[in-house]
Structure 1
Amino acid sequence: MDSALSQAAAARLRPVGPLHMPPPAQPLNAVIELSLTGSTSQPEVHLVDSRRNLSWRALMTAAGDRTWHATIRLPAAPTIVTYHFEFADAPPLLEQRQYEGETTPHYGEWFTRPFQIAVYDPARMPADWTQGMVIYQIFPDRFANGEPGNDRLTHGVYGHPPIFKSWGELPEAPPLGRDFFGGDLRGVIAKLDYLVNLGVECLYFNPIFAAPTNHRYEAIDFMQIEPMLGDDAVFDQLIAEAHARGIRVILDAVFNHCSADSVYYQAAQSSRESPYYRWFSFTQWPHNAVGWAGFGFMPEFVECPEMEHYFNGPAGVTAHWLRRGIDGWRADVAPDNSDAFWRGFRLAAESVRPDAYLVAEHWVDSSHYLLGDTFSAAMNYRFTWAVRGFLVLGRLTPSEFDDRLMTWLRDTPPPARHAQMNLLSSHDTDRLLTLCGGDRRKFQQAMAFMLAYVGAPTIYYGDETGLEGSGPEDGRRTMPWDALDAELGAFFKAAIALRRGSPALRTGEVETVVIDDAERAYVFARRAAASVVYAAFNASDADTEIEIVLNEGTTDWRVVLGQAVISAADDQLTVMLPARGFPWLARP
């Protein structure tokens, strides 16, 4: 976590006024010390339990020259505690944070808000099997075609004629969701050994339930597999064969809305006496209801008890597919359902699979979801924008980059950090290699960072072979099975094998050991008992030399991934880093 080096960098980025470094997330009922430096007047802490909307105050006591302390007991139930400092002779002190962006990244912007501490339930943290695992995301229509006979079983796409494209053609632009390439579940089954060889441990599928469009983010029926992808028998075979190879499976939970062609919406349109009428907010029955993001073909659900029972009841959608063998869910547009709905979702999942992996799609600070009673993890776009900003776009200095990472780590309960879904590309972004302008050095450097850092690294299908795309839809190209990139494939296999074989890389603690803004160099250590790995990164286009102070002795260090020239003496490792270098250093 925060090393003295990281704390010094954070202080440099916040040069004005008193300084307070917030503690990391804490377990229920913890007693903590808050400290503040740089104030001549006695501060008072104003704290708020955000879930209970309850506030209280604590006066700080002197602990040295312009230094103040306060002992605080945290609540006994999961919550986010926010707080700020008040002074008799100065404005209140709030936290200064970098504005990271939401669905698009932002750099060079700061804002203030109250400090926060996530208070989590340590008994309900992510399962051991999720810790540090390697995830692979599959967009089903574009991964592999194993059953050509189902390629044209389309429902129709809201009045648009479907387009059936040949494998390898580009997606339709502008997109209408009507171009189909024939990928299906049997195709995934045929490629499971490829995924095993790559080192994948968990598959995340974009939606597979019956739906009109190629992305299937508006289901017709949540209890039916899309016929163009397969049927119940093929699904069962996929689960059985994936599990036999040690691969877990999670599905997409699009529980905020459905298709205007769905059985639910059509029943609501047929009669106001239908039990489904109450599931929707009609602005003009029977034709117009509130749609997700304003899209009329995606009517949003009202969280009435009947709707909640359908999804989260004992025989509901959540429990049904877990009983069918899946290992978890990724919740689409999580903030567009209520927190209460997702806590019910968690209870429904735990009733079948206490160790289910539940991931929220949330593009910003997700700590309120990670307290033990809602989700296991979030899609970590905060990580995405940070790595892209430093290693690809050159928009962050090493100090700013480290500050973002340390802020994310503080926000996240320590037992949940290794389960967070870290990613660099997804179905909702451009492809990383395209963002890199085709520069494979930048691309491999960013991937090497993700595969060495804390979390569950997630590979978007095709990234391991250099698939490109300038935006979300353009990035949903078909997997080039006849032209796989052997060099990139070898890099991914080597990095993943090293990660899976190293306790330090899989679940070790992290410490920043070099922050060099002038040379654009950054180094962190991963440690788990005797297992230690240093990962070094040169984000410049010139060679540079860095020095790492060692805690483990100077003998037998070697480069296990990437390239560098190293020498050791006097408890110090000197590393000659090539331009865009990314060596991992370890001992046998």
Structure 2
Amino acid sequence: MSESHPLGHRARPLLQPHHDGSPLYAGTDAPGPGDTVSVRVRVPSVPGADARDARVVLRWVRDGEPVLREAVRDGDDDAGAWFTADLEVSNPVTSYRFVLVEGGRYRVLNAEGLHARDVSDAGDFLASSHAGPPGWVADQVAYQVFPDRFARSGVQRPLPDWALPAGWDDPVVHRGPDTPRQVYGGDLDGVAAHLDHVADLGATLLYLTPVFEGRSNHRYDARTFDRVDPLLGGDEALVRLVQAAHARGIRVVGDLTLNHTGDDHDWFRAAQADAGAPEAGYYTFHEHPHRYASWLGVPSLPKLDHRAPALRRALYEGPGSVVDRWLRAGLDGWRIDVANMTGRLGATDLAHDVARAVRGTMAPDRWLLAEHGHDAAPDLAGDGWHGTMDYAAFTRPVWTWLNGGGPQGPGLPHGLEYLGIPVPVPVLPATAAVATLREVRARAPWRAWTSSTLHLDSHDTPRFRTVAGGGTHGGVDREGHGRARHLVGLALQMTLPGVPSIFAGDELGLTGTDGEHSRTPFPWDRRGTWDDESLDAYRTWVDTRRAHVALRRGGLRFVDVGEDHLTFLREHADGTVLVHAARAPHGPVVLPAAALGVAGAAALEPLTPGTGAAADVGAGLVVLPADGPAAHAWRLP
């Protein structure tokens, strides 16, 4: 981004050629095998380079050999010109890029951006001809619930021997051996009783962390996959919850661990008892019965061996498997825990085989989401996982840009590690955040990212309110010390491509310093402590996303990126939305109205309260607000 432009010293993405994998630019995000699709490039006109005179060549790789086809100009306006070429999706995943010559300059456009030189194929656009995700996924806003901490139904149930009872307002134990043993008594009927809150927020999908019986409050150490934990109300309570959610138009996604079980699981006990039992093949024993492979060396979580046909049939292959049974009970999809490690151990790598087999068992209208804490792109190009929890291209860059630090201010210690790395959360400019997003997302097809979830935080991380500067006490930041930056993050979560996933309590301003600390009981009986300004903002941004198809299904074109602000368009045939987010006050962002495709600021319709833009209409410019922390959105004609 070093080229000059008429409105400043930095080259702005708005004035650079653009393509992405959305239907507006790629014709469809679901081509079939052997299909030919029309792919389009928008080439802006800039002084010294009339877009109509540009040459654009499509380059794709067919059977390992590059194929070249000249694009034709099929339209132009005050903003520039459109060029179109036919792309043959001849392989299951076809990579492509564009070569452009404008005003004598040679440039390459791929999914990472525009380059003034040849670059590796690793960042090229990808068109997948595999079956796509369910059509409903891109329209969702998810709400994540950790069942033990959301709500009680009032039914008293005996606690198992491993559990330590806690009062609803007791502090969360988040360090030491009692961390997984603390039980608050939330259950599935309690979740069902509070679905009106989920619906009022505007969420349309409920994501439950595990409900199968385990020996911990988190239940990732399953004792069985055949029954819902009696502490949560049992199988019948899950059925009641799913029915109540569906009656409100809310889908429900379950959480399943395919990587490991608990050491008290029916299968593992049978495996240890008899080396000749079929279940012994479900695990990798180095020396039977007490030396075996486990998740990260934790003995209580023995790792499953997917080389065993009987395990695959029992767990995820075909009718009657665990995956199939609970989908038939009403679940709308699965989130797969530790998907990045599933089927992988030393020289064995069956991760894609597992993902493909799970997909084969699921109906086409069910969603398959993978947990992946880092770059998931290599696992997303095929016919396995539909998408991932997008920590790499969303959570991490957003944290580094909106890190509010501790009480002393931005960039100063708040004691938080950087998502598993034992260093403080860094403070980086928006240019770095956008570069990370583009680089990570370049490695997988567009539709994989629109089927991935966007998390400001989750049950495995500190609360974003604490990252943004809202304190570390594990309660509600009612005074709003980190509110402004938190709500800028919320705006990005609701306006970037992907499925926003709200961790229950974020909308109230809950804080937390690590994943366990963030599993805070929802303060239903302390309504006066809620941060109502945050709650209102969540409703507003969720409603805005749901009201505009461009925010759910549109392309992503960055307009202007600086240190303290980032500005982008979500483009769709049915409308375009301009989003401007800032972490601090910044210099004026002045945009050419013609390049935006508008006659002036009068054509910008504010979508959120307080949004406005000043513009020198006579000069054909749009001037965006320079306040911050703040986020604004407008609808373009």
Range class of TM-score, shorter chain: 0.7 to 0.9
Distance 1:356 1:469 in 2: 33
Q: Is 1:522 matched up with 2:566? A: yes
Distance 2:224 2:245 in 1: 25
**For 1:392-403, what aligned pairs fall within 5 Å after superposition?**
392=403, 395-403=427-435
Using the TM superposition, give the Cα deviation of residue 464 of structure 1 relative to its aligned residue in structure 2, in angstroms: 0.6
Distance 1:398 1:436 in 2: 15
Q: Is 1:387 matched up with 2:398? A: yes
The 3 A distance-change label for structure 1 pair 61 and 369 is: closer
User: 1:342 maps to what in 2?
Assistant: 355
Q: Partner amino acid for 1:368?
A: P
Aligned partner (choices 514, 521, 528) of residue 478 of structure 1: 521
Aligned partner (choices 154, 159, 162) of residue 153 of structure 1: 159
Distance 1:587 1:23 in 2: 19
User: 2:467 maps to what in 1?
Assistant: 435
User: 2:494 maps to what in 1?
Assistant: 451
For the 8 Å contact 1:147–1:186, the answer to whether it is kept is no
Q: Is 1:324 matched up with 2:329? A: yes
Q: Is 1:125 matched up with 2:132? A: yes
Distance 2:557 2:111 in 1: 22
Using the TM superposition, give the Cα deviation of residue 118 of structure 1 relative to its aligned residue in structure 2, in angstroms: 6.7
The 3 A distance-change label for structure 1 pair 315 and 522 is: same
For the 8 Å contact 1:565–1:577, the answer to whether it is kept is no
**What's the secondary structure of 1:406's corresponding residue?**
helix
Distance 2:352 2:121 in 1: 21
Q: Is 1:577 matched up with 2:584? A: no
Q: Is 1:531 matched up with 2:575? A: yes
**Greater mean deviation of Cα atoms: 252-261 or 285-294:** 285-294
Using the TM superposition, give the Cα deviation of residue 144 of structure 1 relative to its aligned residue in structure 2, in angstroms: 0.8
Distance 1:586 1:56 in 2: 43
Q: Is 1:182 matched up with 2:229? A: no
Deviation per residue, 1:78-107 (Å, 9 max, x gap):
358699xxxxxxxxx9x9999xxxxxxxxx
**What's the secondary structure of 1:582's corresponding residue?**
strand
Using the TM superposition, give the Cα deviation of residue 398 of structure 1 relative to its aligned residue in structure 2, in angstroms: 2.7
**What's the secondary structure of 1:488's corresponding residue?**
helix
User: 2:444 maps to what in 1?
Assistant: 412
Using the TM superposition, give the Cα deviation of residue 522 of structure 1 relative to its aligned residue in structure 2, in angstroms: 1.4
Q: CA RMSD in A?
A: 3.6
**For 1:217-296, what aligned pairs fall within 5 Å after superposition?**
217-296=220-299
Distance 2:10 2:341 in 1: 33
**What's the secondary structure of 2:276's corresponding residue?**
coil
For the 8 Å contact 1:543–1:579, the answer to whether it is kept is yes
**For 1:137-148, what aligned pairs fall within 5 Å after superposition?**
137-148=144-155
Distance 2:314 2:441 in 1: 36
User: 2:48 maps to what in 1?
Assistant: none
Deviation per residue, 1:110-134 (Å, 9 max, x gap):
xx98625475544611122101310
Q: Partner amino acid for 1:449?
A: L
Using the TM superposition, give the Cα deviation of residue 213 of structure 1 relative to its aligned residue in structure 2, in angstroms: 0.5
Q: Partner amino acid for 1:358?
A: L
Distance 2:289 2:429 in 1: 55
For the 8 Å contact 1:22–1:117, the answer to whether it is kept is no
For the 8 Å contact 1:135–1:201, the answer to whether it is kept is yes
Using the TM superposition, give the Cα deviation of residue 312 of structure 1 relative to its aligned residue in structure 2, in angstroms: 1.8
For the 8 Å contact 2:490–2:541, the answer to whether it is kept is no
Distance 2:586 2:295 in 1: 50
Deviation per residue, 1:296-329 (Å, 9 max, x gap):
1111111110111111232100111111110000
The 3 A distance-change label for structure 1 pair 459 and 23 is: closer
User: 2:171 maps to what in 1?
Assistant: 170
Using the TM superposition, give the Cα deviation of residue 442 of structure 1 relative to its aligned residue in structure 2, in angstroms: 0.6
Q: Partner amino acid for 2:315?
A: F
**Greater mean deviation of Cα atoms: 74-83 or 559-568:** 74-83
Q: Is 1:560 matched up with 2:565? A: no
Unaligned runs of 5+ in 2: 40-59, 72-84, 98-107, 114-118, 343-350, 405-410, 412-426, 471-481
Aligned partner (choices 196, 205, 208) of residue 205 of structure 1: 208
User: 2:194 maps to what in 1?
Assistant: 191
Deviation per residue, 1:121-169 (Å, 9 max, x gap):
446111221013101111111111114412x432x44xxxx31111122
TM-score, L = length of structure 2? 0.74
**What's the secondary structure of 1:401's corresponding residue?**
helix
The 3 A distance-change label for structure 1 pair 526 and 302 is: same
For the 8 Å contact 1:544–1:579, the answer to whether it is kept is no
Distance 2:70 2:96 in 1: 22
Aligned partner (choices 303, 310, 316) of residue 306 of structure 1: 310
Deviation per residue, 1:44-67 (Å, 9 max, x gap):
xxx999xxxxx956699999xxxx
Deviation per residue, 1:323-359 (Å, 9 max, x gap):
111000011111222211111111011xxx2111100
**Greater mean deviation of Cα atoms: 383-392 or 521-530:** 521-530
Distance 2:461 2:605 in 1: 36
Distance 1:365 1:10 in 2: 29
The 3 A distance-change label for structure 1 pair 32 and 369 is: farther
Distance 1:363 1:399 in 2: 22
For the 8 Å contact 2:152–2:185, the answer to whether it is kept is yes
Q: Is 1:504 matched up with 2:567? A: no
The 3 A distance-change label for structure 1 pair 576 and 220 is: same
For the 8 Å contact 2:92–2:129, the answer to whether it is kept is no
Distance 1:153 1:32 in 2: 61
Distance 2:69 2:327 in 1: 52
Q: Partner amino acid for 2:400?
A: G
Q: How many residues align?
A: 520
Deviation per residue, 1:424-445 (Å, 9 max, x gap):
1011111000111211111111
Q: Is 1:546 matched up with 2:589? A: yes
User: 1:78 maps to what in 2?
Assistant: 92
Using the TM superposition, give the Cα deviation of residue 537 of structure 1 relative to its aligned residue in structure 2, in angstroms: 1.4
For the 8 Å contact 1:418–1:454, the answer to whether it is kept is yes
The 3 A distance-change label for structure 1 pair 356 and 58 is: closer
The 3 A distance-change label for structure 1 pair 48 and 428 is: farther
For the 8 Å contact 1:333–1:361, the answer to whether it is kept is yes
Distance 2:243 2:257 in 1: 24
Q: Is 1:467 matched up with 2:510? A: yes
Unaligned runs of 5+ in 1: 14-19, 34-46, 50-54, 64-70, 84-92, 99-111
Using the TM superposition, give the Cα deviation of residue 279 of structure 1 relative to its aligned residue in structure 2, in angstroms: 1.1
The 3 A distance-change label for structure 1 pair 524 and 82 is: closer
**Greater mean deviation of Cα atoms: 248-257 or 367-376:** 367-376
Distance 1:266 1:138 in 2: 30
**For 1:483-494, what aligned pairs fall within 5 Å after superposition?**
483=527, 484-494=530-540
Distance 1:4 1:381 in 2: 34
